[in-house]
Structure 1
Amino acid sequence: MSDAPLTDRGSAPADRSASSAAFSPLYQQIKGLLLQSLDRGEWKPGESIPSELELAARFQVSQGTVRKAIDELASENLLLRRQGKGTFVATHHEAKVRFRFLRLAPDDGKQSVSGSRILDCRRVKAPADISTLLELRSGEAVVNMRRLLTFDQTATILDDIWLPGAVFRGLTAESLGRYRGPLYGLFESEYGVSMVRAEEKIKAVSASDDQARLLQVAPGSALLQVERVSYTYGDRPMEVRRGLYVTERFHYRNSLN
């Protein structure tokens, strides 16, 4: 889909066979064009996008159509509205966006102080299952890191993370050790990769001796395993993350619509 003018008509474009977008509502087509601009980096994370009036003129549609497209992108945390300031591209450096993929919540509802420690980071040949999930060719390199997350200084999550090696060149244990912000914020600012959605699989597992040692629990303790595949624009997979969660004081929370 290009930035060609669109019309606010209820009917689909004349050539119905040209694209499946012909059958989608007009605001969805505008949403697709906005996503293309975000993917191309026309507006960077944290930057403001043009006003609704400017975008309506650009796409030759009504302001209401643009507003509906932006509303959807805002509900998906890809854009952020700021009263009196405009609409901005979401960034993982913002508190509202930073933890949107982390669904672990304290049982007592109190805010915990989080900490992160990188245990290992190296370039390796991608295991077959990781290659499949990241849509890589067999044998391609990946960056594999292991990270321990603490809450109120208590070990709570052990993450094993795989990233496409060609995209994350230069990511090392040393560079991670110097960084103090959110991991997705680093991916965004240093590698131009914004994680915009994720899919997860969850199951109960027992802690191995090594996992139990790192998480400071007894071997064989029940853990929650969360496998997440995170995607950037265009539904391109950019991360596989397998986390082991200690849930003695926490629960996994999700909203179903």
Structure 2
Amino acid sequence: MDTVTFPAKADLRLPRYQLIRDDIVRRIADGQWAPEQAIPTEADLCQAYEVSIGTLRKAIDLLVADGVLTRTQGKGTFVRRPRFDSSLFRFFRFKSADGKSVQPTGKVLERAVLKPSETIQEALQMKSGEKSIRLSRVRLIDSRPVLWEEIWLARHRFEALTTLPLDEFGDLMYPL
């Protein structure tokens, strides 16, 4: 593995282990390492990031705790296959009247295909003139709205969502 240079938009004020954690996540998202594939050895990663084993292990420990990676004794560290059933809902801390944890449902209210603002275009790394998909979604608990979301997607990556009936979106966007 070659020596790693962090992307220009990386915040170099962050601790080194955090930069490494973020870079590994970026590499996984970019498809450099696929689910169930082993990442390079700790020794190779230490050399590539030019850090001590302790710094690297702190980054890996965070990714294991977040469910992004999994360690197998004697075999290595692997990219974990995403689980959308419960991991996604760790961000929702809603309780019912009797104190039980509840997971909100989702309902897409509106879909539009349009030209995004420059800010959204840049965030989605879209070319000038490309169209996007904007979804307005509400999260419900016991049929009562608790959260409204505006979701922007690059149309060329998610074309199939332009014709999917709104009632078929379901509660989770990621597996869809």
Question: Displacement of 1:55 after TM fit?
Answer: 0.8
**Does 1:79 find its partner at 2:68?**
yes
In our comparison, the structure showing a higher alpha carbon Rg is 1
Unmatched runs of 5 consecutive residues or more in structure 2: 5-9
Change (3 A) 1:87 1:141: same
Match of residue 149, structure 1, among 136, 139, 148 = 139
2:42 is aligned to 56
**Does 1:185 find its partner at 2:175?**
yes
Change (3 A) 1:25 1:163: closer
SS state of the match for residue 49, structure 1? Answer: coil
TM-score using structure 2 length: 0.62
- Say whether the 8 Å CA contact 2:114–2:133 is kept in structure 1: yes
Match of residue 94, structure 2, among 96, 102, 105 = 105
Share of identical aligned residues, percent? Answer: 27
Question: Displacement of 1:104 after TM fit?
Answer: 5.3
SS state of the match for residue 185, structure 1? Answer: coil
Higher strand share: 1
**Does 1:119 find its partner at 2:109?**
yes
- Say whether the 8 Å CA contact 1:49–1:87 is kept in structure 2: yes
**Count of paired positions:** 164
Match of residue 91, structure 1, among 82, 95, 98 = 82
1:4 is aligned to 2
- Say whether the 8 Å CA contact 2:108–2:166 is kept in structure 1: yes
- Say whether the 8 Å CA contact 1:43–1:49 is kept in structure 2: yes
SS state of the match for residue 58, structure 2? Answer: helix
Change (3 A) 1:30 1:163: closer
2:7 is aligned to none
Question: Displacement of 1:57 after TM fit?
Answer: 4.5
User: What is the CA–CA distance in structure 2 between the aligned matches of 1:134 and 1:117, rounded to whole Å?
Assistant: 23
Change (3 A) 1:28 1:133: closer
- Superposition RMSD on alpha carbons, in Å? 4.2
SS state of the match for residue 84, structure 2? Answer: coil
- Give per-residue Cα distances to partners, 1:122-164, cap 9 Å, x unaligned: 3112245644654645543110112232112323223232212
Question: Displacement of 1:170 after TM fit?
Answer: 2.3
- Say whether the 8 Å CA contact 1:146–1:158 is kept in structure 2: yes
Counterpart residue identity of residue 84, structure 2: H
SS state of the match for residue 62, structure 2? Answer: helix
- Give per-residue Cα distances to partners, 1:72-128, cap 9 Å, x unaligned: 3345x36244787965436251412x124x455337542124322222223112245
Q: Greater CA deviation, 24-33 or 119-128?
A: 24-33
Counterpart residue identity of residue 41, structure 2: L
User: What is the CA–CA distance in structure 1 between the aligned matches of 2:154 and 2:58, rounded to whole Å?
Assistant: 35
Q: Greater CA deviation, 29-38 or 148-157?
A: 29-38
Change (3 A) 1:5 1:156: closer
